[in-house]
């Protein structure tokens, strides 16, 4: 039998990062993410990797971007208030096509809010948080094994596409212990940075792989609009580069889509969810089936680029989509857009800091009346 | 316990080791080859006032990770009893520390056991969580007694192992099957 | 421009963005002289800058160069140096860049003592955005956001760095090429965090708004408002001459740098992780 271990979501993220070959972590403590950095503070020096506690979250994201260009596979982890501060750096990482991973253990917000209470309120910020059109990949996890695997996947995608990858988990998953089959070395794929074919004349933004600073080809990196060589570009040249950066993610929406579908083949009601909310969603689908309601569920693990093809497919077959979120309706906007009026889309929001219950989702799936977007049902 | 999943809520005052007890119970269930999810109150709430750990044990995949209505409720403090005794069903096994007086009552099958007193007699008040685990497990057969021992000994520091081994046994004796409610 | 400087320049990126009379060119020239004199391997030098006029220096420098975000150059450089410890990392910042928006990174970099060389091109004003007040604008001086004269007190970046624990702290001016070269060489050779405050001239804004519009007037201003001093004890002097900024090396102490300490810690705990 495979080795089973009882671990917390945050531990899974930390060990997933080590498994993926993360060689540099810079961070600033914040509830409910701190266990990730505490574990890495212990493990990384002992494994010959580099860990540093920075003076704030802006410094943390800046340091990992510097580390990435120095040749490291890099990570920082935070929660809402710190994630807000990191938006500046995420924009820089996006325009400089820097491979990096940011884990956001979501907590109740805005502002200090309720540091130890769960929420999924940072979905919009993860996708759209930094200014300007930009490319990012946003992933989630709904169980502890997922937290491990999606951390590894986040590194793989960051390296493959040279893009910042944001993994959104939440306070419940962060602190929940669950037994997982511990991934053995070699079990999960690990993608490493591609070296350019030749060192001489390396152009850092011409998609020729990645050569770190000091490796023999002197080049320039800037957060200003730039061309393939890293020097300032204007007008159509700047537009072309930005389209390329966004296109390399957006054009691969189908191959980037990670999801888990269950009982959807004959479903009349589809519960579409992501992250921790997929747990009550699955329990609700089982309960509804037991009651004779043909319910199915879709757990979306790639939030961005949004896999609208999955929703379009479901919307053509079911009467109703129910979308539970621990916010007042964020990803449901994308679901509504993708469903395009082909079925009813019902948002179910909860913002009292507790996890949605299966019963709440069942009630929303069954009841005839439309529940207003954002109306809290916190029984 | 015949139901699957089994939902367990362990409650008491901050500092009574309920979260450790939850992790130990979860580890023991894992040693038995079960699936398990363990959650807890976190942060200031866990240090001031009442503390709570939850464990769900199942032979199959566990979807919802939190306890909805517990099959087993342990209360080691009066405050925890007041907070959680109303959130049970008629079949819930409610195990209260004897320091919680008979005026505190409610639904469920209530058993009172002198767990903290037994821990003091065994060598330390801090072992009350281990006494409680021994007692709960004797009453319910949640996990195998061997797995419970292994999980406890794996979790506690070397110098407290003898105390905790004694605490498990004391807890088991405290809840000999004769004392279990019908 | 001599061959010694030319080989460190990206000639295709010239002309640079700096105004006629700006002191930044003089500072860069002194920096390139220092790098040449020290015989550093061009491929193993990284120059990392923030945002502002000074931040544009790396565009024309033929090293491994990174133009980062406003105030964060030291944080980017920290990551770069930690994962690539053999690189010689030189950080170029403006005064607002380093001491206003980047003040937190600046003091913590001084404290942390990672082996970085930090140069502040200190012109006492925000040039690139059009001449607004900086934390380094002297009291009474005019800017586009203090038209009647600055009512705040200026940051003395040397005292700030000394207080925050930097191991090497110096001040020079873009008026004094020889001193700049000497200090830059000392700073780059220093093992640990080294800071040089380089007072420089912004004729376009600071000069024009403060009746020093001709570039030579600002050079005289730099000469006449600073007081050369090699006296390290100066840092204990609580009351320097009111109008004179002391120049010189104020601290030069070898302390174990962060990178060395981290390596020792890593070696001591090697293989002692929990997993």
Yes or no, beta carbons of A116 and B26 under 8 Å apart: no
Q: Do B64 and A359 touch (CB under 8 A)?
A: no
Region of A345 please: left (phi>0), alpha (psi -120 to 50) or beta: beta
Give the confidence band of A209 by pLDDT, cuts at 50, 70, 90. Answer: confident
Chain segment C197-223, per-residue pLDDT in tens: 999 999 999 999 999 988 899 999 999
What is the pLDDT at residue A365? Answer: 94
Q: Quick one: which of A364, A139, A328, A143 has its CA closest to B64?
A: A143
Q: How far is CA C161 from CA A29, A218, C103, C222, C262, in A?
A: 25, 31, 11, 21, 22
Q: Do chains B and C touch (3 or more CB pairs under 8 A)?
A: no
CA distance A200 to A347: 55
Question: Nearest by CB to C82, which of A52, A58, A92?
Answer: A52
Buried-exposed string A322-339: b where 16+ CB fall within 10 A, e elsewhere = bbbbbbebbbbbbbbebb
Which whole-number Å values give the CA distances from A44 to A49, A61, A184, C154, in the listed order? 5, 18, 19, 42
With a cut of 90, say whether residue C264 has pLDDT above it.
Answer: yes
Instruction: Copy the structure tokens of residue A288.
Output: 């509804």
Q: Residue B11: which H helix or E strand, with range? A: strand B6-13
| pTM higher than the cut 0.90 | yes
Q: Is A32 on the interface with B (CB under 8 A)?
A: yes
Are A56 and A145 in the same domain? yes
Tell me the longest C-alpha to C-alpha distance in chain B. Answer: 41
C164 C-beta neighbours (distance < 10 Å), count = 18
> Given pLDDT bands bounded at 50, 70 and 90, which one contains residue B47?
low
Which one, of B21, B48, B16, lies nearest residue B120 by Cα?
Answer: B16
CATH number of the structural domain spanning residue A175:
3.40.50.970
Do both A177 and A291 map to the same domain?
A: no
In whole angstroms, what is the distance from residue C113 CA to residue C117 CA? 10
Which pair of structure tokens corresponds to residue B91?
């079949």
Of A238, A189, A218, A182, nearest to A69 by C-alpha is: A218
Element (H, E) at B46: helix B44-47
Beta-carbon separation of A172 and B30 below 8 A: no
Of the candidate ranges A129-143, B36-50, C165-179, C252-266, the one whose mean pLDDT is the lowest? B36-50
Per-residue confidence band for C273, with pLDDT thresholds at 50, 70 and 90: low
Phi, psi of A220 (to 5 degrees): -120, 140
Task: Give domain status of residue B182, yes or no.
Answer: no
Cross-chain Cβ contact A224/C65 below 8 Å: no
Q: What is the DSSP string of B114-125?
A: -HHHHHHHHT-G
- Give the position of tokens 């040749």: A71
Domain stops at, among A181, A206, A236: A181
CA distance C275 to C271: 9
Q: Are strands C88-94 and A320-325 parallel, antiparallel or unpaired?
A: unpaired
pLDDT band at B46 (very low <50, low <70, confident <90, very high): low
Measured between beta carbons, the chain A residues lying within 8 angstroms of C83 are: 23-24, 50, 67, 70-72
* CA separation, residue B112 to residues A29, B139, C67 (Å): 43, 12, 69
Query: Mind giving me the DSSP string for A283-320?
Result: HHHHHHHHTT--EEEEEE-EEES--HHHHHHHHTT-SE
Partners of chain C (3+ Cβ pairs below 8 A): A
Structure tokens at C98: 């380093």
- β-bridge mates for residue A103, sequence order: A77, A167
Whole-number Cα distances in Å, A81 to A106, A274, B40, C243 = 9, 22, 23, 43
Cis status of the peptide bond prior to C83, with omega within 30 of 0:
no
A122: pLDDT strictly greater than 80: yes
Contact of C78 with chain A, judged by CB distance below 8 Å, is answered with: yes
**Number of structural domains chain A divides into:** 2
- Quote the CA–CA distance of B164 and B159 in Å, as a whole number: 10
pLDDT value, residue C227: 86
Q: Which residues face A249 on adjacent strands?
A: none
Residue C120 pairs in a beta bridge with C93, C197
- Decide if A70 and C269 are in contact by the 8 Å CB cutoff: no
User: Which pLDDT value is given to residue A373?
Assistant: 40
- SS3 at position C212: coil
Give alpha helix (H) positions in chain A: 9-20, 34-46, 57-69, 80-85, 87-95, 123-128, 144-161, 171-175, 235-250, 253-256, 278-290, 308-315, 332-339, 358-366
How many Cβ atoms sit within 10 Å of the Cβ of residue B47?
11
Residue closest to A177 by CA, chosen among A351, A35, A286, A358: A35
- C-beta separation of A100 from A93 below 8 A: yes
Nearest to A323 by CA among A366, A369, A364, A376: A364
Least trusted range by pLDDT, from A114-128, B46-60, C92-106? B46-60
**pLDDT the model gives residue C271:** 73
Q: Of the candidates A43, A58, A221, which has its C-beta nearest C66's C-beta?
A: A221
Residues spanned by the domain of B76: 6-176
Instruction: Return the exposure string of C126-161: e unless at least 16 CB atoms fall within 10 Å of the residue's CB, then b.
Output: bbbeebbbbbbbbeebbbeebeeebeeebbbbbebb
Q: Which residues of A touch B40 (CB under 8 A)?
A: 175
Task: Report if residue A338 sits inside a domain.
Answer: yes
Q: Which of B36, B64, B66 sits opposite A179 (nearest CB)?
A: B36
Task: Test A69 with C66 for CB contact under 8 angstroms.
Answer: yes
Q: Which residues of A touch B37 (CB under 8 A)?
A: 176-178
For residue B147, give the DSSP letter.
H
State the average pLDDT over residues A298-314. Answer: 98
**From the CB of residue B11, how many other CB atoms can be counted at a distance below 10 Å?**
24
Give CA–CA dist C155/C95, Å, rounded.
9
The CATH number corresponding to C3-269 among 3.40.50.170, 3.40.50.970, 3.40.50.620, 3.30.2130.10 equals 3.40.50.970
Answer yes or no: is pLDDT of A364 > 70. Answer: yes
Using an 8 Å Cβ cutoff, are B8 and B63 in contact? no
**Neighbouring chains to B with at least 3 Cβ pairs closer than 8 Å:** A
The whole-number average pLDDT for the span A293-298 is: 97
Question: Which residues in chain B touch residue A282, judged by CB atoms under 8 angstroms apart?
Answer: 63-64
pLDDT in tens, A16-37: 999 999 999 999 999 999 999 9
* A68 neighbourhood in chain C, CB within 8 Å: 79
Average pLDDT, chain A: 95
Q: Which residues of chain B are at the A interface, by a Cβ-Cβ cutoff of 8 Å?
A: 23, 26-27, 30, 35-40, 42-45, 62-66, 68
The predicted structure's pLDDT at residue A200: 85
Residue A140 has pLDDT above 80, yes or no: yes
Query: Looking at the predicted structure, is the pLDDT value of residue A69 above 80?
Result: yes
Contact check, Cβ <8 Å, C64/A42: no
* Nearest residue of B to residue A145, measured between CA atoms: B37
Judging contacts by C-beta atoms under 8 Å, the chain B residues touching residue A116 are 42-45
β-partners of residue B94 are: B73, B110
CB of A100 closer than 8 Å to CB of A158: yes
CATH of the domain at B10: 3.40.920.10
- The phi, psi pair for C133, rounded to 5°, reads -60, 140
Instruction: Give the orientation angle of helix B128-140 with respect to helix B161-174, to 10 degrees.
Output: 40
Interface A–B counts its CB contacts (< 8 A) at 59
Contacts of C237 (CB under 8 A, 6+ apart): none
Residue in chain A closest to C272 (alpha carbons) equals: A46
- Chain C residues whose beta carbon lies within 8 Å of the beta carbon of residue A70: 79-84, 87
Residue of A32, A177, A358 with shortest CB distance to B64: A358
Chain B contacts in chain A segment 249-278 (CB below 8 A): 276
Q: SS3 for A137?
A: strand
CA distance A157 to chain C (A): 21
pLDDT at residue A119, as a whole number: 97
Residue A67 within a domain: yes
Reply yes or no on whether the pLDDT at B178 is more than 90: no
Q: In terms of Cα–Cα distance, which of A302, A323, A32 is closest to A167?
A: A302
CA distances from C188 to B33, C89, C107 (A): 61, 9, 19
The confidence score (pLDDT) of residue A378 equals 39
Tell me which residue in A6, A283, A359 faces B27 most closely, judged by beta carbons.
A6
* Residue of A2, A3, A5, A6 for testing the chain B interface, max B β-carbons within 10 Å: A6
User: How far is Cα C90 from Cα C190, in angstroms, rounded to an integer?
Assistant: 12
**How far away is chain B from the Cα of A6, in angstroms, using its nearest Cα?**
7
Quote the pLDDT of residue B10: 98
Q: Please report the pLDDT score of residue A208 as a whole number.
A: 74
Query: Does B181 map to a domain?
Result: no
Tell me, rounded to whole angstroms, the distance of Cα A327 from its chain centroid: 16
Residues 6+ apart with CB under 8 A from B56: B5, B6, B7, B8, B36, B37, B38, B62, B65, B66, B67
Element (H, E) at B73: strand B72-75
Q: How many domains does chain B have?
A: 1
pLDDT (average), residues A207-217: 89
Question: Residue B3: pLDDT band by 50, 70, 90 thresholds?
Answer: confident
What Cα–Cα distance (Å) separates residue B21 from each residue in A249, B47, B76, B168, C99?
A: 46, 16, 12, 12, 51
Rounded CA separation A317/A19 (Å): 40
Across the range C101-123, mean pLDDT stands at: 98
Collect all residues with Cβ–Cβ distance below 8 Å to C209 and sequence separation of at least 6: C125, C131, C141, C142, C143, C144
User: Is it the case that residue A1 has pLDDT exceeding 70?
Assistant: no
Q: What pLDDT score does C230 carry?
A: 54
- Contact A45/C265, CB-based, under 8 Å? yes
Would you say residue A199 lies in a domain?
Answer: no
Mark yes or no for CB contact A6/B40 under 8 Å.
no
Which distant-in-sequence residues (6+ apart) come within 8 Å of A77 by Cβ?
Answer: A13, A25, A27, A33, A36, A37, A102, A103, A104, A105
Interface touch C46/A220, C-beta < 8 Å: no
Task: State the smallest CA–CA distance between residue C41 and chain A in angstroms.
Answer: 10
Strands B93-97 and B109-113, how do they pair?
parallel
Q: What are phi and psi of C41, to 5 degrees?
A: -75, 115
Contact check, Cβ <8 Å, B68/A357: yes
Whether C and A touch, i.e. at least 3 CB pairs below 8 A, reads as yes
Take residue C166 and report the two structure tokens written for it. Answer: 């930097």
Residue A355 domain boundaries: 259-366
- pLDDT at residue A39 is higher than 50: yes
Alpha carbons A12 and A180: distance in angstroms, whole number: 9
Integer Cα distance of A15 and A187 in angstroms: 14
For residue C207, the SS3 value is helix
Q: With 90 as the cut, is the pLDDT of residue C96 above it?
A: yes
Is C15 at the interface with chain A, CB within 8 A?
A: no
Is the pLDDT at C33 greater than 80, yes or no? yes
Q: How confident is the model at residue A114 (pLDDT cuts 50, 70, 90)?
A: very high
């Amino acid at each position: 039998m495979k080795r089973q271990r009882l671990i917390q979501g945050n531990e899974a993220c930390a060990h997933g990062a080590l498994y993926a070959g993360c060689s540099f972590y810079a961070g600033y403590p914040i509830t409910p993410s701190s266990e990730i950095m505490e574990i890495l503070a212990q493990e990384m020096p002992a494994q010959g990797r580099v860990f540093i506690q920075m003076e704030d979250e802006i410094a943390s994201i800046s340091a990992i971007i510097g580390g990435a260009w120095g040749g490291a596979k890099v990570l920082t982890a935070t929660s809402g208030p710190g994630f807000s501060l990191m938006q500046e750096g995420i924009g820089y990482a996006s325009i400089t096509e820097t491979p990096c991973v940011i884990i956001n253990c979501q907590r109740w917000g805005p502002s200090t809010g309720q540091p130890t209470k769960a929420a999924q309120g940072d979905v919009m910020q993860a996708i759209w948080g930094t200014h300007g059109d930009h490319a990012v990949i946003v992933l989630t996890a709904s169980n502890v094994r997922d937290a491990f695997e999606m951390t590894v996947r986040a590194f793989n995608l960051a390296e493959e596409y040279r893009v910042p990858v944001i993994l959104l988990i939440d306070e419940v998953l962060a602190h929940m212990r669950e037994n997982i089959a511990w991934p053995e070395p070699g079990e999960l794929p690990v993608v490493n940075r591609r070296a350019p074919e030749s060192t001489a004349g390396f152009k850092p933004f011409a998609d020729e792989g990645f050569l770190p600073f000091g490796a023999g080809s002197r080049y320039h990196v800037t957060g200003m609009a730039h061309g393939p060589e890293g020097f300032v570009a204007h007008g159509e040249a700047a537009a072309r580069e930005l389209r390329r950066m966004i296109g390399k993610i957006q054009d691969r929406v189908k191959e980037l889509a990670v999801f888990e579908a269950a009982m959807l083949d004959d479903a009349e009601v589809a519960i579409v969810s992501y992250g921790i909310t997929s747990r009550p969603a699955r329990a609700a689908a089982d309960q509804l089936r037991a009651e004779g309601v043909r319910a199915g569920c879709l757990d979306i693990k790639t939030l961005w680029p949004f896999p609208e093809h999955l929703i379009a497919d479901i919307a053509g077959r079911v009467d109703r989509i129910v979308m539970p979120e621990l916010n007042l309706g964020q990803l449901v906007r994308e679901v509504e857009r993708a469903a395009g009026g082909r079925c009813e889309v019902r948002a179910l929001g909860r913002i009292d800091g507790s996890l949605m219950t299966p019963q709440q989702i069942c009630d929303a799936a069954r009841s005839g009346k439309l529940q207003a977007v954002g109306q809290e049902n916190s029984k | 316990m015949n139901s699957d999943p089994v939902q367990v809520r362990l409650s008491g005052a901050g500092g009574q080791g309920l979260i450790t007890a939850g992790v130990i119970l979860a580890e023991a269930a894992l040693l038995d080859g079960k699936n398990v999810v363990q959650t807890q109150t976190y942060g200031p709430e866990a240090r001031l006032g009442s503390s709570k750990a939850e464990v769900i044990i199942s032979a199959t995949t566990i979807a919802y990770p939190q306890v909805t209505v517990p099959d087993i409720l342990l209360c080691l403090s009066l405050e925890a009893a007041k907070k959680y005794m109303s959130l049970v069903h008629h079949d819930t096994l409610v195990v209260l520390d004897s320091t919680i007086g008979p005026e505190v009552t409610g639904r469920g099958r209530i058993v009172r056991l002198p767990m903290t007193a037994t821990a003091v007699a065994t060598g330390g008040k801090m072992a009350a969580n281990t006494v409680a685990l021994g007692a709960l497990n004797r009453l319910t057969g949640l996990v195998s007694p061997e797995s419970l021992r292994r999980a406890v000994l794996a979790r506690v520091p070397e110098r407290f192992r003898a105390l905790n081994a004694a605490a498990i046994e004391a807890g088991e004796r405290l809840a000999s099957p004769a004392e279990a409610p019908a | 421009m001599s061959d010694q400087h030319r080989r460190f320049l990206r000639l295709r990126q010239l002309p640079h963005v700096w105004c006629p009379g700006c002191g930044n060119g003089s500072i860069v020239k002194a920096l390139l002289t220092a790098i040449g004199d020290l015989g550093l391997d061009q491929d193993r030098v990284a120059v990392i800058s923030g945002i502002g006029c000074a931040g544009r220096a790396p565009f024309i420098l033929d090293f491994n160069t990174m133009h980062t975000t406003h105030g964060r150059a030291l944080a980017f450089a920290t990551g770069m140096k930690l994962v690539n410890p053999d690189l010689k990392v030189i950080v170029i910042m403006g005064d607002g860049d380093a001491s206003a928006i980047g003040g937190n990174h600046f003091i913590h970099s001084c404290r942390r003592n990672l082996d970085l060389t930090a140069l502040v091109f200190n012109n006492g004003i925000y040039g690139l955005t059009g001449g607004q007040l900086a934390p380094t604008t002297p009291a009474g001086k005019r800017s586009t956001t203090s038209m009647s004269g600055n009512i705040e007190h200026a940051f003395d970046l040397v005292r700030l760095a000394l207080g925050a624990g930097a191991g090497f702290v110096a001040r020079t001016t873009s008026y004094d090429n020889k001193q700049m070269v000497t200090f830059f060489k000392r700073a780059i050779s220093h093992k640990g965090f080294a800071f040089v405050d380089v007072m420089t001239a912004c004729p376009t804004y600071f000069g024009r708004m403060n009746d020093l519009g001709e570039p030579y007037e600002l050079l005289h201003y730099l000469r006449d408002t600073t007081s050369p001093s090699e006296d390290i004890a100066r840092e204990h002097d609580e009351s320097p001459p009111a109008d004179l900024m002391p120049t010189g090396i104020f601290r030069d102490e070898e302390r174990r740098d962060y990178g060395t300490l981290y390596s020792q810690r890593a070696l001591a705990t090697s293989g002692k992780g929990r997993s």
